[in-house]
Structure 1
C-alpha cells in the first residue's frame, strides 16, 4: 500500500512543444504544470497493475502514456509488422500467450536437417540458439567474463609486474589484473554468503523441528506464534526465527534456491577450471567460425526464465490492442556472462533475418573481444536496426572504473562507435526521490534513458504472471516502444528512432536518491543520471516520430 503525496517537485518538459496533424486531429506533447492533484488515498495492487502504461497527466502515475497513445494517436491507424529480436536465454515459444507472435522463417523447412535458405543455420524456423548443439546439449551455466580472462592470461601474466610487460601487451595485462582482483573479491564474497546462507537455513530447520507440534503442516502465522508459551523451554529463539521468516516473506524453498545459486557460482561461474564451451567446438576468437549452435530454443526455458519474461514484456497487449510485434528468439545468455562472439553473431543473425529492433537485456563488467560487438553494432546501423540494452542492477554509477558491456562507446576516448544503441536504466512509479529504482545503474556518460522497470508483471514459462523488477524490464519496454514507432513510421532510421526515444521523454529535475558507500544520503538531480535526463514516453515519441517522418 502506498499513499501518493501531493506533487511538490517541478519537472521540466521539452523546450519546444510540437503540434501537428495526425488523423486530422491535433495532438500536443505532454506538458505537466505543477502543482497538480494526485490520486487521494492508497494505491492498491489493482491501481498499480500495468502502471507502466499509465499517463502522468491522466493517471498521475509516471508511466509511458501508452494507453493514451493507443486511444488517441494510433486509433484507427494500421501498423506494419515489426520483428524484435530478443538476444537472451531460451524462450518458451510454445506458450499460448505468445501464439502468433513468434517469428517464423518462411524460407526454412522444419526438421529436415537442411539449410533451406542458405543462411548457414540449419532448421532455424523460429530463431537460433548459440548455446546448444545438434545433440540436444545446452550450456546452462557459464563462467563470468573475468574468470575467462584470468584463465586465458594466467600462464602468460601470473606473478608479473607491470614494469615487466611490453607496451603491446600492456592493455591485456591491465585487463587481466582487474579481472584477477574481481575474481578474488567475488569468490570471497560468495563463499561468505554460502556459509551465512547455510546457517540461516539450519536455524530455520531447527525451528521447524522444534515447533512441529504447533505447526505440523508448516503453515506459520503471527497469531499462532503469539500463543506459544516460550518461558523456560528454549522455544523463544525458534519463535523469533519463524517470525523473521514471515517478516521477510521467506521460505525454505527460497533459502535452498539461493544456496543452490551460490553453489553454482562456486561450481561453475567462478570456477577457473570449468569451461562449458566444449560442447560447441567453436573457436571463440574467430568470428568467421559460425557453424555452431542449434535450432532448439526452449529446452531449458524452465531453468532460466529470463528470455521468456522479456518476451512477455515486449509482447504484452495494452487494453487488448492488436500487437504489431513478432519476437525472434536468439539464445546467447547463460547463467553467467554471454560470450562476445555469441552476442556479435546474434546481432548479425537478427539483422540478416529482418529484425528492426534488437533487445539485449543483459550486461557484463568485462569484455574479452569487444571489437566483435562493435563491428556488429556498425553492421546493424547500416541496416537501420536499433539495439537496446539494460544498464544493470548494481545500483551504481557507470564510469571508467565500473563499466558495462555491451556498449557503443570505447573506454579509450568515449566516442560513439555507432548511433543505433540505447542503454536504459529503471524508473519506478514514485514521483519523488525514489523515481530512480534503487537497483538501477545510472550515468550521464553511459546511460541514455530511463524507463519503467519496477514491479511490472511478466510471464514465466509455467504460465504464471508475477511482479518483476530490473533494468532488463526497462530495456524490453523501450524495445516495445521502438518497435511501435517502426510499425507506424517504417521509413525512420535507427539513429532517428534512438533520438526520438531520448528527446521525447519526460524530464524530471528534482533530487533523487543515489547513495554510495561513502555517502548514504547522497542525492542527484534526476536529469543528470542519463544522457537525456528523461523517462521514456510513448505518446510523445509517436508525436515526434510523426513529425520527423513527414520531413
Structure 2
C-alpha cells in the first residue's frame, strides 16, 4: 500500500505556495546550505560537471505516473521496439503496445483498478470461508495456526474500522471549517490564492467579525500543520478505508479478469500506465529524475534517466502476483534500478515475489524499497516486500530506506518512519519533499515513499556516470558513503524513548550523493 504522511512543520513561501522548509532541501548540503540534505547539488557542481553519462532506465513500480507532466515528459521511458497502438506485440516481450510500461491492475477493456482491499481483509475473508460460521472442534484443532491468524486479523480490522469511524467526522468538520475560512479570507483580500503571510497581514481593526473569526480558524489549523489539501487527504483516506480497504464485500479484481491462482505473466493487464490516481507515482518519479535542465519545477536526483512506468499499486494493498510480475517486467525490459515505494504487513504469495527478486539479482538489477510508515521496528514487525526470502536467506541486490527529517537533533528521524538495526539499511530525506504531481503541478509529500526514490535516484546517478559499476558495488558505495551520526541521540519513532541514531539502521547513516560519487570515482579509477 502506498501511504503518505500529511503533517506540516514551519512554513516558507515559493511562488505563492507554502513550503515547510527550503526548496529542494533533500538535494542540499548541510555545510553549504544549512540543512541536512543529500549534497546532490554539491556533487553535480564539484565532481560531475566535466563528466559524461549514459542513460539509465529506472523502473518505478507504483500507482501510475502522469507521463505528460511538464517536468517528466522528456524523462519517460519509451519502448522503441514497439509500434504504438497497432494491437501487435512487435518486440515479442509478451505485452502488446507497451510503449511506456505496463498496468498490471487494468483490464483488457482499458479500465483500471483504483481502490482495493487491504491484504489483511483478503486473508480474513479467505480464512472465514475456510472455517465457516460454526467450525467443528476437529477443524479448529487441525488448523490452529490459521485460526489464530484469523482471530488476530479480526482484531486488527475492527480496530482500523473503529479508528476510521472516529476520525472521519473530525476531518470532515475541519475541512468544512477551513473551506469556509479560506472562502471568506480570499474574498476579503481579493486574491485567488492564500498564504500565511497574507492572512497574518489582515488588520483585525479594519475587517468585519466573520473575517477575524476566519483568520483565527485558518491560523489555528495552520499552526497544527493542517492545510486544506492535507485535511482533504485525511477525509479521502478514512472514506476509502471504510468503503473499500476494510470492506470485506468489495472486490474490484473482476476489472482485471485474471486467474488469481496463477502468475499469468503477459496474460493480463493493459498499457494504460497513468491510471485513475497517479498522485503517488508521479511524486515518486519526480524525486528520481525530474528534468534538471528545463528551468521549471523541481530537480530530480538523477539527470540522465528514463523512467519506466509499471502500475500495480492501488489505493489499498497490492497483490503479490502483480508485484512479482512488475519486477520481472522491469528487468526484462532493461531497467537497471527498480524503486518500490509500497508495502504491507502480510504477503500470502511471497514465494512469487521471492522468485522475481532472485531473478532481478541474477540480472544485476538493484531493488530499492521504502521501509514503511508505521513507526515500527521492522526487525520485529515485518514489512513486505523484504529482502529475506522464505528460505531464510537474503538477496544482495536490495536497499531498504527509512526517512529522515530536515530538522536536526532529536527529531532527525521522521516520526512516522519504520526503522531496524538489521532491516533498514540507510535513511534519506523523506519529510516535506517538494515534487511533481499530476497536471504539471507540484506539492510537498512525505513518507518513506519519498525517501526510497531519493536513493533509487542516487543509484541511477552512479550507474549513469560510472556504468561499469555492478548493482552490488552501487549498493556498497551508497551504504558505506553515508554520513554516520553515531553519538546523536534521537527520538525513536512511535515511542517516547530515545536511542542513538546508529541503532535505527545497519549503517547508522544518511545517504550522501557527494560522498557516494567521490567513492565511485575512486573505485572506477582502480577498475
For the superposition of Structure 1 and Structure 2, which TM-score range results when normalised by the shorter chain?
0.7 to 0.9
Give yes or no for the alignment of 1:267 onto 2:243: yes
User: Which has a greater percent of helix?
Assistant: 2
Distance in 1, matches of 2:180 and 2:32, equals: 53
1:380 aligns with 2:360: yes
Give the alignment of 1:320-331 within 5 angstroms. Answer: 323-331=303-311
- Aligned-partner Cα distance in 2 for 1:189–1:340: 27
Q: Partners of 1:212 and 1:354 in 2: how far apart?
A: 50
Equivalent pair of 2:66/2:278 in contact (CA under 8 Å):
no
Asked whether the 8 Å contact 2:286–2:435 carries over to 1, the reply is yes
**2:57 is equivalent to residue 83 of structure 1:** yes
1:423-480 CA-to-partner distances (Å, cap 9, x unmatched) read 1011123332221112211111211111111222101112222223221111001001
How far apart, in 2, do the equivalents of 1:69 and 1:535 lie?
A: 16
RMSD: 3.5
Deviation string 1:18-54 (CA, Å, 9 cap, x unpaired) is: xxxxxxxxxxxxxxxxxxxxxxxxxx97982222222
CA distance in 1, matches of 2:519, 2:448: 25
Indicate the larger mover: 85-94 or 311-320. 311-320
Q: Indicate the larger mover: 445-454 or 210-219.
A: 210-219
Match of 1:108 in 2: 82
Aligned to 1:512, which of 470, 474, 490? 490
Partners of 1:207 and 1:319 in 2: CA distance: 39
Alpha-carbon contact 2:66-2:438 (below 8 Å) kept: yes
Per-residue deviation, 1:369: 0.9
Q: Which residue of 2 aligns with 1:138?
A: 112
Residue 31 of structure 1 corresponds to none
After TM superposition, the structure 1 = structure 2 runs for residues 401-440 of structure 1, keeping only pairs within 5 Å, are 402-410=381-389, 415-440=392-417
Equivalent residue of 1:142, what SS?
coil
Residues in 2 aligned to 1:363 and 1:87: alpha-carbon distance in whole angstroms: 11
Distance 1:105 1:163, change over 3 A: same
State the distance in 2 between where 1:368 and 1:183 align: 17
CA apart distance, 1:337: 1.0
Please say if 1:497 is aligned against 2:474. yes
Cα displacement (A) at 1:515:
5.1
CA–CA distance in 2 between the matches of 1:291 and 1:316?
32
1:157 pairs with 127, 131, 147, which one? 131
Secondary structure at 2:130's aligned position in 1? helix
Aligned partner of 1:179 in structure 2 is 153
Cα contact 1:90–1:307 (8 A) shared by 2: yes
Where does residue 30 of structure 2 map in the other structure?
56
Give the Cα–Cα distance (whole angstroms) in 2 for the partners of residues 366 and 162 of structure 1. Answer: 27
Greater displacement, 64-73 / 375-384:
64-73
Is structure 2 residue 430 aligned with structure 1 residue 453?
Answer: yes
Q: Does residue 357 of the first structure (1) align with residue 337 of the second (2)? A: yes
What secondary structure sits across from 2:469 in the alignment? coil
TM-score, scaled relative to structure 2: 0.84
* One of 513, 518, 525 as aligned partner of 1:543: 518
Report the more deviating stretch, 237-246 or 417-426: 237-246
- Give me the whole-angstrom Cα distance separating, in 2, the residues matched to 1:94 and 1:237: 42
Question: In the alignment, is the contact (CA less than 8 A) between 1:85 and 1:359 conserved in 2?
Answer: yes
* Residue of structure 2 equivalent to 1:462: 439
Q: Measured at CA, do residues 203 and 161 of structure 1 come closer, stay the same or move farther in structure 2, by a change above 3 Å?
A: farther
**In structure 1, how many angstroms separate the alpha carbons of the residues matched to 2:206 and 2:115?**
46
User: 1:54 & 1:216 partners in 2: Cα distance?
Assistant: 36
Q: Give the greater-gyration-radius structure (CA).
A: 1
Alpha-carbon distance change, 472 to 249 in structure 1, aligned in 2, over 3 angstroms: closer
Q: 2:48 aligns to what SS in structure 1?
A: coil
Normalised to the residue count of structure 1, the TM-score between the two structures is 0.81
Q: Rate the CA distance shift 1:516–1:296 in 2: closer, same or farther, 3 A.
A: closer
- 475-484 or 179-188, which moves further after superposition? 179-188
Structure-2 separation of matches of 1:126 and 1:116: 14
What is the DSSP-based 3-state SS (H/G/I as helix, E as strand, rest coil) of the residue aligned with 1:62? coil
Return the match for 2:451 from 441, 449, 474: 474
- What SS does the corresponding residue of 2:460 show, helix, strand or coil? helix
Paired with 2:453 and 2:137, the residues of 1 have a C-alpha distance of 42
